[in-house]
């Protein structure tokens, strides 16, 4: 049973680096397609980027220069790092996974982490 | 990059009525790799439809998806109280896997 749990710092100052972690307590992180998605207050869903089941990464062009998505297989953890945050990065951040290994859809979602950027 | 445009922005309907939501892509969506998500207040969104017309696990059959190419539709046959929320389409054939801006279904 997929059980996604995520965590990370909820309050950042402008220019700091956002760092979030996601684990699947029901199984292995490895071999699946993972996404990070965010939702700013009162706004829609925004796809941040992904790490594919084969380990490749792709990012939203508008965020690409600041984002890194990676997997630590030894810790069974997925991570998101976003540098030089501003108030515009205030949002709920979600890790998501597809139903099958190579599915890029978001069948399973973490509980979400609210990240607030404020001086 | 494919841009998805959802319409209408807001749909005002009564419980029991049918809702028809539209999602138009700026280019043809190969393989019908188009999904629909439902926003759930206080929770993570949930996947309703993938492959343009396949219901995800556990989704009631009042939700249906259709369409191909550049025009896709989510239909809710009879609105239940919990269906009044925001819906998003997503293109997922290739990166970037963009979302539409959302359609809000509100109680009339």
Does the pLDDT value for residue B86 go beyond 90? Answer: yes
pLDDT single digits (tens) B27-41: 999 889 999 999 999
User: Which of A44, A61, A94 faces B44 most closely, judged by CB atoms?
Assistant: A94
CB contact under 8 A, A44 and B99: yes
Number of DSSP helices (H) and strands (E) in chain B, helices first: 0, 10
B58 Cβ under 8 Å from any chain A Cβ? no
Smallest Cα distance from B78 to chain A, Å: 24
Rounded Cα distance, B87 and B74, in Å: 9
Q: Which residues of chain A fall short of a pLDDT of 70?
A: none
Q: Classify B92 in phi/psi space as left (phi over 0), alpha (psi -120 to 50) or beta.
A: alpha
Residue A98: closest C-alpha in chain B = B47
In the structure, what pLDDT confidence band is assigned to residue B81 with cuts at 50, 70 and 90?
very high
User: Which of B1, B35, B102 faces A105 most closely, judged by CB atoms?
Assistant: B35
User: What would the mean pLDDT of B60-83 be, rounded to a whole number?
Assistant: 97
CB contact under 8 A, B95 and A99: no
Residue A4: closest C-alpha in chain B = B44
In degrees rounded to 5, what are phi and psi of residue B45? -60, 165
Smallest Cα distance from B92 to chain A, Å: 7
CB contact under 8 A, B102 and A44: yes
Q: Within 13 A of A48's CA, how many CA atoms are on the CB side? A: 26
Rounded Cα distance, A76 and A28, in Å: 6
User: Which pLDDT score, from 0 to 100, does residue B30 have?
Assistant: 84
B47 Cβ under 8 Å from any chain A Cβ? yes
Does the pLDDT value for residue B44 go beyond 90? Answer: yes
């Amino acid at each position: 049973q997929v059980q996604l749990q995520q965590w990370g710092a909820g309050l950042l100052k402008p220019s700091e680096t956002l760092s979030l972690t996601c684990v699947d307590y029901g199984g292995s992180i490895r071999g699946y397609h993972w996404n990070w998605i965010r939702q700013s207050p009162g706004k829609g869903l925004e796809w941040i980027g992904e790490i594919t089941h084969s380990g490749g990464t792709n990012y939203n062009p508008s965020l690409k220069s600041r984002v890194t998505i990676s997997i630590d297989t030894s810790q069974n953890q997925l991570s998101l790092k976003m540098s030089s945050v501003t108030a515009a990065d205030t949002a709920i951040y979600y890790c998501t996974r597809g139903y099958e290994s190579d599915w890029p859809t978001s069948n399973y979602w973490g509980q979400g982490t609210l990240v607030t950027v404020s001086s | 990059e494919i841009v998805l445009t959802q319409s209408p922005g807001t749909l005002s309907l009564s419980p029991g009525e049918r809702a028809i939501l539209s999602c138009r892509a700026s280019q043809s969506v190969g393989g019908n790799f188009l999904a629909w998500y439902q926003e759930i207040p206080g929770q993570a969104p949930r996947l309703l439809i993938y492959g343009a017309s396949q219901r995800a696990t556990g989704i009631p059959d009042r939700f249906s998806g259709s369409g191909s190419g550049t025009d896709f539709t989510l239909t809710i046959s009879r609105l239940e109280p919990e269906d009044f929320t925001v819906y998003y389409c997503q293109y997922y054939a290739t990166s970037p896997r963009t979302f539409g801006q959302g359609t809000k279904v509100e109680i009339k």
